[in-house]
Chain A
Amino acid sequence: MSHAHDTTAPLEHVPTGLDNKKLMMWLFLASDCMFFGTLITTHLVYRKIYENVGVDPIHIFDIELTTASSFILLMSSLFMALAVSAIHKGSIKSFRWNLVGVIIFGSLFLAGQVYEFNHFVTHAGLTISSGTFGSTFYVMTGTHGVHVALGLLWLVSWLCYSFSPRFNAHQHAIDIETAGLYWHFVDIVWIVIFTAVYLIEYV
Chain B
Amino acid sequence: MSLSTTKTAAPPKSAPHEHDSSKAARSNLGLVRPDHTTGWKDWLTTVDHKKIGAMYAIFSLAFLIVGGVEALAIRAQLAFAENNLVSAETYNQLFTMHGTTMVFLAVMPLSSAFFNFLVPLQIGARDVAFPRLNAFSLWTFVAGAIVINLSWIFQAANAFGWFTPIDGRTDIVPSAGWFGYAPLTGDQYSGIGTDFWIFGLQVLGIASVAASLNFIVTIINFRAPGLKMMRLPVFIWMTLITSFLIIFAFPPITVALGELMFDRVFGANFFRVDQGGQPILWQHLFWVFGHPEVYILILPAMGIVSEILPVFSRKPLFGYSLIVFSGAVIGFLGFAVWSHHMFTTGLGKVATAAFSLLTMAIAVPTGVKIFNWIGTLWGGRIKFSVPMVFSLGFIWMFMMGGFSGIMHSAAPADAQQQDSYFVVAHFHYVLIGGSILSLLAGIYFWLPKMVGKMWYGKLGYWVSATVVVGLNVTFFPMHFLGMIGMPRRTHTYLEGTGWQPMNLVCTVGAFILAVGIFLFLWDLIRTIRKGPPAGDDPWDGRTLEWTIPSPPPSYNFARTPIVHSRDPLWAHKHGKASLRIGSVEPDPHGIHMPSQSWFPLLASAGFFVLGLSMALKQAGVPFCGYIAIAGLGITVLGIYLWALEGPGGFHVHPEETNS
Residues of A within 8 A of B (CB): 2, 5-9, 11-16, 18, 20, 23-24, 27-28, 30-32, 34-35, 37-39, 42, 45-46, 50, 52-54, 128-129, 131-132, 134-136, 138-139, 143, 157, 166
CB pair A15 B223 closer than 8 Å: yes
- Bound Cα distance A2, B268 (Å): 58
Within 8 Å CB of B344, what residues of A?
Answer: none
Residue in A2, A12, A27 whose CB lies within 8 Å of B125: A12
- CA gap between A27 and B248 in the complex, in Å: 10
Q: How far is the CA of A14 from the CA of B302 in the complex (A)?
A: 28
Q: A6-B647, A12-B560, A34-B252 are in contact. Are A27 and B269 (CB under 8 A)?
A: no
Q: Could you list 7 further interchain pairs (A-B, Cβ under 8 angstroms) beyond the known A12-B126, A27-B216, A128-B268?
A: A15-B221, A24-B213, A129-B275, A131-B276, A132-B276, A139-B270, A143-B258
Q: Is the CB of B209 within 8 A of A31?
A: yes
The answer to whether the Cβ of B233 comes within 8 Å of any Cβ in the partner chain is no
Question: Is B42 among interface residues, defined by CB-CB distance under 8 A?
Answer: no
Interface residue ranges of B216-231 to A (CB < 8 Å): 216-217, 220-225, 227
Task: Please state if B251 and A129 are interface contacts (CB–CB under 8 Å).
Answer: no
Question: What's the minimum C-beta distance from A189 to chain B, rounded to whole angstroms?
Answer: 13
Q: Indicate whether B281 reaches chain A with its CB closer than 8 angstroms.
A: yes
Interface pick from B145-153, B413-421, B588-596: B588-596
In the assembled complex, the Cα of A166 lies from the Cα of B645 at a distance in Å of: 11
Q: Which residues of B contact A9 (CB under 8 A)?
A: 592, 594, 647, 649
Contact B267 A28 (CB under 8 A): no
Which residue, B17, B214, B259, B648, has most C-beta atoms of chain A within 10 A? B259
Contact of A38 (CB < 8 Å), options: B126, B223, B252, B647: B252
CB <8 Å contact, B251 and A35: yes
Using Cβ atoms and an 8 Å threshold, which residues of chain A touch B468? none
B198: shortest Cβ distance to chain A, in Å?
A: 15
Chain B residues with Cβ under 8 A from A13's Cβ?
Answer: 225
The reply to whether A131 and B254 contact each other, CB–CB distance below 8 Å, is no
Pairwise interchain contact A27-B247, C-beta atoms closer than 8 A: yes
- Does B251 contact A46, Cβ atoms closer than 8 Å? no
- How many residues does chain B have at the interface if contact means C-beta atoms less than 8 Å apart? 56
User: What B residues does A5 contact at CB under 8 A?
Assistant: 587, 589, 592
**Closest Cβ neighbor of A150 among chain B residues:** B636
User: In the bound complex, do residue B251 and residue A32 qualify as a contact, i.e. CB atoms below 8 Å apart?
Assistant: yes
Q: How far is the CA of A139 from the CA of B266 in the complex (A)?
A: 11
**Contact A132 B221, CB 8 Å, known A38-B256, A42-B255, A45-B281:** no
Give Cα A6–Cα B251 distance, bound, in whole angstroms.
35
- Residues of chain B at the chain A interface (Cβ within 8 Å): 17, 19, 28, 125-126, 129-130, 209, 213-214, 216-217, 220-225, 227, 247-252, 254-256, 258-259, 262-263, 266-270, 275-278, 281, 285, 288, 560, 587, 589, 591-592, 594, 640, 643, 646-649
- Chain B residue at smallest Cβ distance from A13: B225
Partner of B259 from the list A42, A50, A134 (CB cut-off 8 Å) is A42
Q: Which residues of B contact A14 (CB under 8 A)?
A: 221
| Distance of A122 from chain B, by nearest CB (Å) | 18
CA–CA, A2 and B214, complex, Å: 28
Whether B268 lies near A46 (C-beta < 8 A) is no
A35 lies within 8 A of B278 (CB): no
Given contacts A12-B221, A20-B221, contact A128 B255 (CB under 8 A): no
Q: How far is the CB of B252 from chain A (nearest CB, A)?
A: 5
Task: Report the bound CA distance from A31 to B254 in whole Å.
Answer: 11
Chain B residues near A15: list those with CB within 8 A: 220-221, 223, 225, 227
Report the separation of the CA atoms of residues A7 and B28 in the bound assembly, to the nearest whole angstrom.
12
Using A128-B267, A128-B268 as known contacts, say yes or no to A24 and B130 having CB atoms under 8 A apart.
yes
* Distance to closest chain A CB from B295 (angstroms): 16
Instruction: Let me know if A139 and B268 touch, CB within 8 A.
Output: yes
CB of A35 within 8 A of CB of B254, answer: yes
Q: Does A23 lie within 8 Å of B278, measured CB to CB?
A: no
Complex contacts, A8 vs chain B, CB 8 Å: 647
Q: Most chain-A Cβ atoms within 10 A of its Cβ — which of B217, B225, B262, B648?
A: B217
Sample (10) of A-B pairs whose CB atoms are under 8 Å apart: A5-B587, A6-B592, A18-B220, A24-B129, A31-B250, A46-B278, A129-B268, A135-B259, A139-B259, A143-B258
Of all chain A residues, the one with the shortest Cβ separation from B584 is A13
